[in-house]
């Protein structure tokens, strides 16, 4: 019997698998359209009837279309969620029990709410805390006094309730805003400054102490980021790392320490700042093999328009193209300068829709909003850096206020579940923007946003089959089938 070379067997097996893989078909599929629209009561509201596909071989140029191909898949989605900060937890604790349950259902129950599966929290204080604090006594380089007792009042109980509401599993990662004051060259947790070389190891140990302490409290920690916003000198907790300093701290201290302490499986996120410098910081980290081996992904924020410009999605695209094996994760975004009179401003949600559609289309695997809950002032915040959240609670009256941010995020998080893959999606007009995913159960979710002032109709088109959908002005839709 003639032996077939192993290489040919592998190739033949690959060809056989490709031949047996069934192409996606719309046969028998019914489309449910969920809509959120300005000047209506629709809030992720399903249409009363489903839509059926019919033949449309070649759409005309005059027909607006969203072309979708579920056979062309891209990155796998890990999760979508928000940050459970001290401010969120303190606000949560101040509202009545029935309102607390409403918040938990709204965020973490996929049927009653929008089904968050991902959460970020802080390693000790951030600006969204009622005051600055650390987990150790000042000057304790050996970390003998390390304790997360501070967090047991508000934050840890809230996180535990969130995990339960999410069905017992919530992917949680944590970020530090600043080392303790004595570890920094400005002797201050606020206003930037740098980590002193004598404290590199102590600070690396601090992350592992945090993970152990939270996991002892029953809160699994999936990963950490190295430093929140390492290029920003803020009036709140902040610490500066150049790209080379962050790289060297990771490869010489934090990475080895995580491995030594038994946390090799924990994910480490680098950068954790804006898209403006994303490529330079990613390349500095990932072009060094000794640093890159510790990096799960590159995190980023959306505040690059602080200088008066626009969001820089092309920088995200470039990093994804240059380092396709490295995960990209959106770690923070919110609308700043809270004004309760703007609680119903439709532009809030459209900011989220624009960013989420572009971010996923440029290759990210996870998306994390900033505070999931704030009070009637846009805080609490110990330096009065007050911001919008998807949900605000009036701690004086108990009233729960939903901005349309909540619904725009929900058009993703409710229907794009962990394990979903992004699929090819291409609108034929700039009047609408879109992205699409196929979930592990085979359900497709196509998300379409209309930021314009005009109602328009478009065809959802898949391989010569289409359904016609009406898009209202200033609306977000998720088409599920």
> Cβ distance 458 to 450 under 8 Å?
no
pTM, 2 dp: 0.95
Domain boundaries, the chain: 30-75+423-480, 79-418
Find residue 432's DSSP bridge partners. 450
CA distance 230 to 162: 29
pLDDT digits (tens, 9 = 90+) for 294-334: 999 999 999 999 989 999 999 999 999 999 999 999 999 99
Q: What pLDDT, on a 0 to 100 scale, did the predictor assign at position 19?
A: 36
- The count of other CB atoms within 10 Å of the CB of residue 113 is 20
Active-site option among 90, 246, 304, 332: 332
Q: What pLDDT, on a 0 to 100 scale, did the predictor assign at position 21?
A: 61
Active-site residue flag, 229? yes
Q: What pLDDT, on a 0 to 100 scale, did the predictor assign at position 22?
A: 81
Q: What pLDDT, on a 0 to 100 scale, did the predictor assign at position 8?
A: 28
pLDDT digits (tens, 9 = 90+) for 202-234: 999 999 999 999 999 999 999 999 999 999 999
Active-site option among 229, 237, 246, 350: 229
Report, as ranges of residue numbers, the positions in the chain whose pLDDT lies below 70.
1-21
| CATH architecture under which domain 79-418 falls | Alpha-Beta Barrel (3.20)
Superfamily, domain 30-75+423-480: Golgi alpha-mannosidase II (2.60.40.1180)
> Cβ distance 279 to 319 under 8 Å?
yes
Nearest to 239 by CA among 296, 283, 200, 295: 200
Active-site residue flag, 332? yes
In sequence order, which residues have a C-beta less than 8 Å from that of residue 197 and are 6 or more positions away? Answer: none
Q: What pLDDT, on a 0 to 100 scale, did the predictor assign at position 15?
A: 34
Q: What pLDDT, on a 0 to 100 scale, did the predictor assign at position 479?
A: 98
CA distance 412 to 407: 9
- When computed from its CA atoms, the radius of gyration of the chain, rounded to whole angstroms, is 24
């Amino acid at each position: 019997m003639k032996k077939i070379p192993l290489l040919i067997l592998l190739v033949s097996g690959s060809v056989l698998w490709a031949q047996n893989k069934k192409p996606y078909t719309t046969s028998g599929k019914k489309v449910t359209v969920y809509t959120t629209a300005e000047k209506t009561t629709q809030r992720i509201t399903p249409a009363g009837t489903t839509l059926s596909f019919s033949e449309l071989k070649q759409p005309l140029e005059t027909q607006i279309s969203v072309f979708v191909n579920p056979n062309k898949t891209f990155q796998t989605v890990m999760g979508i969620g928000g940050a459970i900060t001290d401010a969120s937890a303190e606000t949560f604790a101040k509202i009545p029990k029935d309102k607390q349950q409403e918040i938990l259902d709204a965020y973490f129950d996929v049927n009653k709410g929008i089904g968050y599966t991902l959460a970020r929290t802080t390693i000790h204080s951030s600006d969204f805390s009622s005051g600055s604090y650390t987990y150790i006594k000042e000057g304790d380089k050996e970390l003998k006094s390390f304790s997360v007792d501070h967090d047991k009042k508000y934050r840890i109980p809230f996180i535990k309730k969130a995990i339960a509401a999410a069905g017992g599993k919530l992917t949680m990662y944590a970020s530090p805003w600043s080392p303790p004051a004595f570890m920094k060259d400005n002797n201050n947790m606020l206003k930037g400054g740098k980590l002193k070389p004598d404290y590199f190891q102590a600070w690396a140990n601090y992350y592992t102490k945090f993970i152990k302490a939270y996991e002892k409290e029953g809160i699994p920690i999936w990963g950490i980021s190295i430093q929140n916003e390492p290029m920003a000198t803020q009036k709140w907790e902040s610490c500066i790392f150049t790209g080379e300093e962050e790289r060297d701290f990771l490869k010489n201290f934090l990475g080895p320490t995580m491995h030594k302490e038994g946390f090799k499986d924990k994910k480490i996120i680098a950068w954790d700042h804006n898209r403006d410098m994303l490529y330079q910081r990613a390349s500095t980290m990932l072009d060094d093999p000794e640093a890159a081996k510790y990096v799960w992904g590159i995190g980023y924020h959306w505040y690059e328009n602080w200088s008066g410009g626009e969001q820089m999605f092309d920088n995200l695209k470039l990093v994804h193209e240059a380092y396709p094996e490295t995960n990209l994760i959106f770690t923070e975004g919110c609308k700043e300068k809270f004004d309760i009179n703007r609680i119903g401003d439709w532009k809030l949600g459209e900011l989220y829709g624009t960013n989420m559609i572009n971010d996923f289309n440029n290759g990210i695997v996870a998306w994390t909003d900033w505070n999931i809950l704030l009070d009637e002032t846009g805080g609490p915040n110990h330096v009065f850096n007050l911001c919008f959240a998807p949900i605000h609670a009036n701690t004086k009256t108990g009233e729960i206020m939903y901005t349309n941010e909540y619904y725009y995020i929900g058009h993703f998080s409710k229907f794009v579940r962990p394990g979903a893959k992004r699929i090819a999606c291409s609108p034929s007009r700039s009047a609408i923007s879109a992205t699409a995913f196929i979930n592990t159960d085979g359900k497709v979710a196509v998300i379409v946003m209309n930021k314009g002032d005009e109602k328009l109709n478009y065809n959802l088109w898949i391989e010569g089959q289409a359904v016609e959908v009406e898009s209202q002005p200033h609306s977000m839709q998720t088409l599920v089938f």
